[in-house]
A and B are shown apart, each in its own frame.
Chain A
Amino acid sequence: GAVVSQHPSWVICKSGTSVKIECRSLDFQATTMFWYRQFPKQSLMLMATSNEGSKATYEQGVEKDKFLINHASLTLSTLTVTSAHPEDSSFYICSASTGHLYGYTFGSGTRLTVV
């Protein structure tokens, strides 16, 4: 089956630093990947849609200069949280499209804590 690997699973960083999260499709090519964030006891909020070889499409209210998304290959998308602040602490999850309509596979998520 389609497998998506997300790394790291958790990270603690100091305020003001940048953190990169990787999302890899291991056994399929994903032209489209999605990035979500989830606050405790809340829904998964779509942040952006990442398409291989083109700029990401950000949802309303998401700062594109703060959350940099790169989708340089068909198997890798990265999310960089720049100049992180404590309010950026959250659970970030990626998903990759398998090509089948609504065939999305999710990564295991990254718990980011900014101190």
Chain B
Amino acid sequence: DQQVKQNSPSLSVQEGRISILNCDYTNSMFDYFLWYKKYPAEGPTFLISISSIKDKNEDGRFTVFLNKSAKHLSLHIVPSQPGDSAVYFCAASGGSNTGKLIFGQGTTLQVKP
């Protein structure tokens, strides 16, 4: 059972525009969410996180929004840059999975110059 889902396998946006990556989860016990960026044949690198007590966290061009009632979070990248092209994973933790990370399937973002 996939507890964390990224239903869009890919996304293509123009440089300078906004990229919105979505993530849904099913486990209401999750209380911490993270976004990672991954290049092929490399490990994920941490981007931004959010605790369930917040509904928004911002770091430079990256903003994560959390809608607990909908069990949905999204990552906004503004403005998008070609160097942002990568696979983005959302991950969640909490409840019986405290201390562990449960990953979504990933979304491949392509930012076109």
A residues touching B (Cβ–Cβ < 8 Å)? 4, 6, 9-10, 32, 34, 36, 41-46, 49, 91, 93, 95, 101-102, 104-109, 111
Contacts and interface: CB of A to CB of B under 8 A. Distances in A.
- 5 tightest A-B contacts by CB? A106-B43, A43-B103, A44-B103, A43-B105, A108-B43
Given A43-B4, A43-B106, A104 B41 contact: no
Interface stretch (B12-20, B44-52, B53-61, B78-86): B44-52
Contacts of A49: 99-100
Interface of B: 2, 4, 9, 32, 34, 36, 41-46, 49, 89, 93, 99-106
A108 B43 CA distance: 4
A52 B34 CA distance: 25
A46 B101 contact: yes
21 contacts: A6-B43, A9-B41, A10-B41, A34-B101, A41-B9, A41-B106, A42-B105, A42-B106, A43-B2, A43-B89, A43-B104, A43-B105, A45-B103, A49-B100, A91-B41, A95-B101, A104-B101, A106-B43, A107-B43, A108-B41, A109-B43
